[in-house]
Amino acid sequence: MPKDHDKDVYPEPPSRTPVEDRQSSLPNPALILSKLFYYSVDLPVTAFRDIVEGIQSGKRSHYYHQKFRRVPELTQCQEGDYVCYYEAEMQWRRDYKVDQEIVKVIQERLRACQQREGPSYRQNCYKELQQFEQVSKAFQSRYGDLGAYASARKCLMKQKERMMAEQQQA
Amino acid sequence: MVGMSLLRTAAAFTARLNPLKRTCQSSNLLSRTVVRSEQVVVRYGSHGKRMFIIKPTDFYDRRFLHLLKYYILLAGIPVAALVTFVNIFIGESELAEIPEGYEPEHWEYYKHPITRWIARTFYDSPVKDYEKMMALIQMEAEKAEMRQLQLEVRRHMREKGDGPWFQIQTLDKNLIDHSPKSSPDN
């Protein structure tokens, strides 16, 4: 079966199932519905999954995550060395994708926290909120308004503008 | 007589207006005839009375929908069966750490078996594409550099004039025939 999520990152609140103290002799509808769900949905699906895994048991192939070497960045390239420009550009694009995924992961954590805590999320998820704010501010300042045709050069120029603005303020 | 014919035409007109509401036929009332009731077709069974329903033709619409379903399912069912069997009998790959000293082939970076097959059979590896692109860039850069150099050299040779370019060949001095010049006023 596929792995479950990381329990440290998405902690579940302690369950508060009450001790059962039945006074009535009527059947428990929650129990009936859960049994119904189990027999009609859970059991067939699990059985099918087990059959399929039994068929596929021996011959699982593997897939890997590609590791890329670091190459010199745009600032370390000689002027007119177009091959170096190309490699730096490709590396910048890979880093851009990675940063987008990082922002998505942080967003997902915040969303999960809000869903868990309910109305008191601003107080209980303070760490996740701060982390998300920091990460999204950083992303906006680095990659913010570059647009669809973003490139390493444009990002570098944006960084130059930022540094100039900081120098003028200081 | 005239009144009866008028009434008859009026009854016929109302009958034409609303054929369903003919409770008492004028032919019964005025001409004292009786409708023969043995002529009604009685074939109830379970279908009810057979009706000839007049409506616009749905032949073209039904033909279009039939052909649409046929052509979609003609390729759709084999493709769906293929994908189902691949998913059940071959199954997706599992994520694993790259073992020490092992370089995975370029198709081993994908999860689904059909994607892996496409990457293995049809596509070049991304490393090869990268190298091809860098080779093209290198060639174009060399061409650009050559053109720049050529323009520079042209400029120098035009200015100084001591290079092999921009020299107009003149005739050899020894070919000049000096014989008409030896005797003046010829």
Is residue A168's pLDDT more than 60?
Answer: yes
Helix/strand number for chain B, H first, E second: 6, 1
Report d(CA A31, CA A25) in Å as an integer.
14
Residues linked to residue A62 through DSSP beta bridges, in sequence order: B94
Taking contacts as CB-CB distances below 8 angstroms, the residues of chain A near B91 are 52, 55-56, 60
Nearest-by-Cβ selection for B98 from A60, A64, A83? A64
Report the interhelical angle of A126-143 vs A82-117 (nearest 10°). Answer: 160
Nearest residue on chain A to B113, judged by CA atoms?
A: A61
Q: Kindly state whether B137 is in contact with chain A, defined as any CB-CB distance less than 8 angstroms.
A: yes
Nearest-by-Cβ selection for A62 from B88, B96, B137? B96
pLDDT score of A59: 78
pLDDT digits (tens, 9 = 90+) for B28-47: 555 555 555 566 666 666 77
pLDDT digits (tens, 9 = 90+) for B102-160: 999 999 999 999 999 999 999 999 999 999 999 999 999 999 999 999 999 999 999 99
> A139 or B30: whose pLDDT is higher?
A139
pLDDT score of A11: 85
pLDDT digits (tens, 9 = 90+) for A96-120: 999 999 999 999 999 999 998 889 9
Report d(CA B111, CA A57) in Å as an integer.
17
The mean pLDDT of A57-76, rounded to a whole number, is 90
Distance (Å) from the alpha carbon of B93 to chain A's nearest alpha carbon: 5
Taking contacts as CB-CB distances below 8 angstroms, the residues of chain B near A64 are 95-98, 104, 108-109
Q: Kindly state whether B100 is in contact with chain A, defined as any CB-CB distance less than 8 angstroms.
A: no
Q: Kindly state whether B93 is in contact with chain A, defined as any CB-CB distance less than 8 angstroms.
A: yes
Report d(CA A104, CA A87) in Å as an integer.
26
Q: How far apart are the first and last CA of chain A?
A: 57
Is residue A95's pLDDT more than 80?
Answer: yes
Interface of A with B in 38-57 (CB under 8 A): 52, 55-56
Decide if B110 and A63 are in contact by the 8 Å CB cutoff. yes
pLDDT averaged over chain B?
A: 85
Backbone angles phi, psi at B100, to 5 degrees: -65, 135
Interface of A with B in 83-142 (CB under 8 A): 83, 86-87, 90
Taking contacts as CB-CB distances below 8 angstroms, the residues of chain A near B137 are 82-83, 86
Is residue B176's pLDDT more than 90?
Answer: no
In eight-state DSSP terms, residue B89 is I
pLDDT digits (tens, 9 = 90+) for B52-73: 999 999 999 999 999 999 999 9
Is residue B22's pLDDT more than 60?
Answer: no
* Structure ipTM over 0.90, yes or no: no
pLDDT score of A56: 86
CB B91 within 8 A of CB A56: yes
pLDDT score of B11: 60
CB A28 within 8 A of CB A22: yes
Structure tokens at B135: 């080779």
Taking contacts as CB-CB distances below 8 angstroms, the residues of chain B near A67 are 98
Taking contacts as CB-CB distances below 8 angstroms, the residues of chain A near B138 are 82-83
Q: Kindly state whether B128 is in contact with chain A, defined as any CB-CB distance less than 8 angstroms.
A: no
pLDDT averaged over chain A?
A: 91
Which of B86, B95, B100 would best serve as a mutation to test chain A binding (most A beta carbons within 10 A)?
B95
Distance (Å) from the alpha carbon of B163 to chain A's nearest alpha carbon: 29
Q: Kindly state whether B139 is in contact with chain A, defined as any CB-CB distance less than 8 angstroms.
A: no
